[in-house]
Structure formats: C-alpha cells, structure tokens
Amino acid sequence: MLLGSAVSRSLFTRTILHSPSCLSNRLLASSHEKRASSTAAALKPGPGVDGEVGGQADAPTPAYALTEKDLKRLRFQRNIGVSAHIDSGKTTLTERILFYTGRIKEIHEVRGRDSVGAKMDSMDLEREKGITIQSAATFCDWEATDAESGTKEKYAINIIDTPGHVDFTIEVERALRVLDGAVLVLCAVAGVQSQTTTVDRQMRRYNVPRISFVNKMDRPGANPWRIVNQIRTKLRMPAAAVQVPIGVEDEFKGVVDLVHWRAIYNEGVKGSTVVISKEIPESVLELAKEKRIELIEQLAEVDEEIGELFLNDELPSNSQIAEAIRRSTIGLKFSPVFLGSAIKNTAVQPLLDGVCAYLPNPSEAEVLAHDTNLPTTAPPVPLTPSADAPLVGLAFKLEEGRFGQLTYMRVYQGTLKKANIIYNARTGKKVKVPRLVRMHSNEMEDIDSIGPGEICAMFGVECSSGDTFTDGSTSYSMTSMHVPEPVISLAIKANGIETPNFSRALNRFQKEDPTFRVHMDKDSKETIISGMGELHLEIYVERMRREYNVDCTTGKPRVAFRETIMQRAEFNYTHKKQTGGAGQYAKVVGYIEPMERDPETGKDVEFENVVMGASIPTNFIPAGFYEALEKGSLSGNPITGCRLVLKEGGFHAVDSSELAFRLATIGAFREAFKAARPVILEPIMNVEVVAPVEFQSAVIGSLNTRRGTVVDSEVRDDEFTAVAEVALNDMFGYSNQLRGSTQGKGEFSMEYKHHMPVLPNLQKELEEAYRKTLPASKK
C-alpha cells in the first residue's frame, strides 16, 4: 500500500511539473509534495530490466535506494541557516550555539569589545562595524535529549550564519538555496521588520521550513505574543508558541515547554547547565495552559491527526503534538515559535533540541535537478541522498582564500573524495579536487571525503557561483539561485597610477558576489560599479584599500533609471544605403507595445515574430531588437516593459544582410519609441525608519520632504516605526539627516521595491542632461 502511494505520488508530481516554465518555478509548484520523498526514495527499487524503474517504462532516470547506513547517517544530520532583520541577534545566537556544542571555548560579543569579536564575524570590517557582511559556515555536534525517554542522541549540524542587511541579500539567497531548514530570528520588541519579510520571501522561494526564535526576551517591552500574531498576519504563516517565558524583561530566567509540559532553566557558567523541572511555576501556570490549548488549536488547522482528535474533543498526547509539529513544519504549513535571550544565555539549548526534533534531515528535503540530455520542458529529476549514487553537488559560494579560490559546495547525491576527478555541468570541464575541507568560519579542517547532505569547501577548483558538479556519469544540472538586479551605481577610479591590483580586486569581487557588477561606460570611459545599496559599494571600496592596497575615489552615486513606453505605436521602416558595390536594404513592419513583467520568469521584454510567408529570411529576424533596448533615447538608460511584434517586411536578394536588418530594427524601434509616450522610470525603495516616539513628527516630515509616501506606522511603548515608499534618487544623504533629527537614536533600512515613472520636471532635467552628453551630430 505504501509503495503504491509512493509511485502515485511520483506520477502526480511529474504531471504537475510537466510545464515549460523555468525549473525554479517547477520547484515552487512542487510544494504540495514537499519533503515526503524519504519514504518514497527508500522504497524505490534500483534500475530494472531495460532501464525500467520500479516497473515504470517511462520513468526519466534510475532511482537509487537509500541503504540502512544512509538512513542512519542522514537521520542525525541537519543543515540550517540563521536568518533575520539587522540587529536581531543572529551572530550572537550562533556564538551561543557554538559554545554550548563545544565548538568554541569562550563566548565573544559581536562588536568585538574584547578585541576578539564573534567567531562567525571573521573579517576585520565585520568586527569594526558590528555587522555580518559575508555568510559564514560552520559545523557542530549536539547531544539532543529525547523528552519522552530521556535518552541522548548525537546530531551533526551544519550552520550558515547570514547577514541581516539588505545590501548583502545575495548571501542569504545562496545560503537558503542549499539548506534544508532555517531558524528565523525575531526581536521580542521590534518583531517582524522589513528585512524579516524579505527573508520570509526567500525561504518560500526555496521551500525552506523554519523554526521561529523570538530573541531578546530580556529587553524592556518584550512581548512575544504580539510577535507570534505578526508571524501569522504579516508573514501569513500559521504559528504558535511552543514555550512560555518564566519571568519577563530583566527577570527572564527560563521557559515552560508546552509540548512536553516541563520548566527549563539555565544555570551555571554562561547558562551551560540546563535544569529541567516537572514543576510549572504558579505565576505562569494559567498562561501556560491557555497557550498549550492555542498551540493544539493552531495544529488542528494544519494537521489531520490533531484535527481529528480536536473534533472528537480528545486531548493529544505529548508525542502526538511533537510529531504533528514536525510533520506540519516540514510540510511548510506551520512554524513553531521558541523564546529566549541569546545575550543572557537563556533558552538556547531548547532551541537546539527543537532544530533536531522539528527540522528535516537531508532525506526529507525534496531536491530536483534537470537532465541536460532532455529538453528543457522535461520534468525535473528527483535526487536521492545516497552515498552510492552518482555525484551531484552545487557550488553556491566562492571566496578568495589564502590558498586560492575557495568553493563552498553542497553535496546532494553521491560521495565527493579528495583527488577525485569531477566535471562542471555548465562548461563540461573536468577538474581534480586537490584539497577538501570543512569550514569553521575562517578556520578549516582537512577531510578525505564528504557524503550526501553535507556542506564542504574545495580549493583550487575554477568555477562560477551556482555551477553544478558531477562525477561525469550523469548529465544532471541544478538550478542556480535567484540574483536580484543592482539598484545603485558609482564611478570609481584609483588615486594616482592604476595598478594591476585595481582590476584584480574588481574581478575577484565580481566573481564572489553576483549582485556586484562592473562595466566601462562607453561615453565617459569611466569604470562603473553597481550594487544593492550605498553600504554594499562602500564595503567593497574599503576592502580594495585594505586587501589590495588600492586607494580609490568614487563619484556621485548614480541611480539605475530605466525607460519604458506607455502606449502602442506602429512602425513601417525601410533602411536603404547605396554605396559602391552591394548596398544595404531591409524593410520591417509591425508595432511596439507596453508589456507587464511575467511573475514567473521575471521577463518584461519580448520579441514576437508573426511574419507570414517568407517576406524576411528567418536568419535575419530577431536582429537588432535587444541591441535597441540597451540605450533609450530619453536618458540613455536601458528600456524595459516593451514587446516588439514583427508583422511583415521586405528584403533584397543581394543587398539584404544581417547588418541591414539589425540597423532597420534599431531605426524602426527608435522611431516608434518616440510615438509610444516614452517615460523614464526610477527605483522606488521600501524604507523602514525606527526612532524614539518624540521624534515621530520630525521623521515623517523628513520623509515627506523627500517625496516619500508613508504606507504604515506603528507606535509601541517609547518607540515608533514608519514604513514609507521613497524614490532612491531622493534617499542620498538620508542617514546623516536622520541622525541629526533624532540625536543619533534613529535608524533606517531600505530595499528595492519596483520602478515607477519619474515626475515630469525630473524627466525634463534628465533628458536635458543626456542631450548635453551627445555629440552635436546626434542632437
């Protein structure tokens, strides 16, 4: 019966996924079947007769059964990320986890007050600024205690600590791409903030189950119940607390475990002794009973077994509640909420037990790859974390180390060994693995081999971020991560004579960080760097000075303006040029029209060919359109949101060529563009400002002077939050103004939202400025 359901599930998945959309969206479409592949994978027989798999002649690939040894190893394996808004305490929490698991001997604080700094912030810049810039990987072992039997079991946990600042969002993106679970950290006072929403969106993009951890329970004004409610309403994720705090604010000293009905306290040096008591303190008994009922009610909505018991007015047992939390968390339907204070060393160990109890192991995470031998519309292939299967691994992060390029890799299938020959699925190149290590922040431990479900790093392997590696026996390729577009640019030049280190640094940073772009401006001949924000580019300029000894100056920040059209415009354009010998002739007829962004593929430009007959040779058809989009005629910025439809044309047997049709298309597009009500678009940012209440009017006034639209504001205790949409062009220098108007107590974060048309007066200014840069002949 179980085998039948596994086969029918695979058929269902293949039916759902058999669509021509890109593989990353098929991954999202498969969320119905999420993370139940371990049973199916374990039951699937090996390759059958004539390549049949389990009796299915049309199955795309042979499946590899998980052996008893595989299942035993994977059961105690966890790959987790720690993600949150800025200053929620991610790195502080990771530091405690490493201390309690015995990976580090001393706890050091984030801002490096003791001149050491947190283990996971290994860069000098991170320690000085007190922020995480690069995600850092580590591993540790944790002895989790089974609450029912009291037995201890040892779990191996790979952890990636990610930055909170939106400028380094690619670090979160690529970490979540390769992880099986995550801990979403929230501040007990601030709750769900702008970057929390971004991280939530990234977790959903890669179907990553999460545990929520409400940190800073020792702070004045801590209110976990408001945060739980925000997770349900703002993040639209069913959630319930699995703990109740014992004491509040500076009296916070432990938690009540609602699942196993016991009190947990931290005692001893730095909270390293966990004391468990069956006695629930009288002061929180009523609240604990009420919250346990709320937990069961929330589970009843997302889990069938608990729902049935609830309808029959039966109380579920502790183990039934725990199993339901695990099922619904892995199924992406629920998030258990833990409480604690990392800085006060309280309730971190129960969170670790929760990671082991409720987050999936690598065999429960469904992983899909694409077979490059099949057409792109073919259904994706499920991978099995079997040690004997052919190797498939994803290089998700690159770093320039002391010994050459360091490539972080997640092994999904098969075993990677030192001195193995591996193949890059994108380039087809084969490389030898000279050195294999496991990372502990900036330290490394040499290893000989690594199994499926593990994260490791290789030295001396040339590749790009997002490349798939195999052992050559398969043609599988994994989808890469989503890379957001840069929103801000700076002109950069070296002070004095430009050394080879200038270009070496820019090349290295570009390779490491897909959101950092470098190009040479054709008109001004300046080197332009683009990124996700002012801080992002500022950090890279500082790293060039420190790591490459290149002192640079940067020009005024430039905004990534775009151009688009507002209405349809026809064109009927003939390009003729007659010189001695063969001339140039091409005729194109059609129209351009506005185009909405496709939410699945993200494309908002398209070339459509509806030419009937052979009025234009097919090899000349798309020539010129994408080239015409590179530079708009209003401000010289790229054109977006535009579709060109080619209806008919004409050609000459001798004078027509690819060049003639390219010039005809560019000329026709520019002519039609002027008639299609062109406008300039500017990036609009989602800005969140947090400041003391007494500065509320000053903050809202400053946002209004910058043409901001306040979309949400919230006052709590003595602090208020304002969320506004402001054009990036008006945000330069805001940090200094905010500091001045709030006596240095206000802080803000911003992230890109969308592009919107600029005001008519600004459009006129931009057009004038662009016209001045053009040579006299083009004006």
Any known ligand binding at 84?
Answer: yes
Q: Would strands 152-161 and 77-84 be described as parallel, antiparallel, or unpaired?
A: parallel
Any known ligand binding at 775?
Answer: no
Any known ligand binding at 88?
Answer: yes
Any known ligand binding at 163?
Answer: yes
User: Cα separation of 599 and 618, whole Å?
Assistant: 30
Any known ligand binding at 218?
Answer: yes
Length of the chain: 779
Any known ligand binding at 270?
Answer: no
Any known ligand binding at 158?
Answer: no
Any known ligand binding at 180?
Answer: no
User: Cα separation of 381 and 449, whole Å?
Assistant: 25
User: Cα separation of 753 and 757, whole Å?
Assistant: 13
The radius of gyration of the chain from alpha carbons, rounded to an integer in Å, stands at: 29
Select from 695, 728, 731, 730 the least CA-distant residue to 713.
695
Select from 398, 402, 407 the least CA-distant residue to 433.
407
Any known ligand binding at 439?
Answer: no
| 257 bridge partner residues | 243, 262
The amino acid that residue 190 corresponds to is A
Q: Are 695 and 745 in contact (CB under 8 A)?
A: yes
Separate counts of helices (H) and strands (E) for the chain: 20, 38
User: Which positions ≥6 away from 269 have C-beta within 8 Å?
Assistant: none
User: Cα separation of 239 and 298, whole Å?
Assistant: 7
Select from 167, 343, 218, 188 the least CA-distant residue to 270.
343
Neighbour count for residue 296 (Cβ, 10 Å) = 20
Q: Which helix (H) or strand (E) holds 297?
A: helix 282-302
User: Cα separation of 448 and 435, whole Å?
Assistant: 8
Any known ligand binding at 91?
Answer: yes
Any known ligand binding at 89?
Answer: yes
Any known ligand binding at 217?
Answer: yes
Any known ligand binding at 742?
Answer: no
User: Which positions ≥6 away from 427 have C-beta within 8 Å?
Assistant: 463, 467
User: Cα separation of 624 and 658, whole Å?
Assistant: 9
User: Cα separation of 37 and 384, whole Å?
Assistant: 9
Any known ligand binding at 85?
Answer: yes
User: Cα separation of 442 and 445, whole Å?
Assistant: 10
Any known ligand binding at 121?
Answer: no
Any known ligand binding at 271?
Answer: no
User: Which positions ≥6 away from 108 have C-beta within 8 Å?
Assistant: 95, 114, 116, 117, 118, 119
- Residue ranges at the known binding site for GTP: 84-91, 161-165, 215-218
- Residue ranges at the known binding site: 84-91, 161-165, 215-218
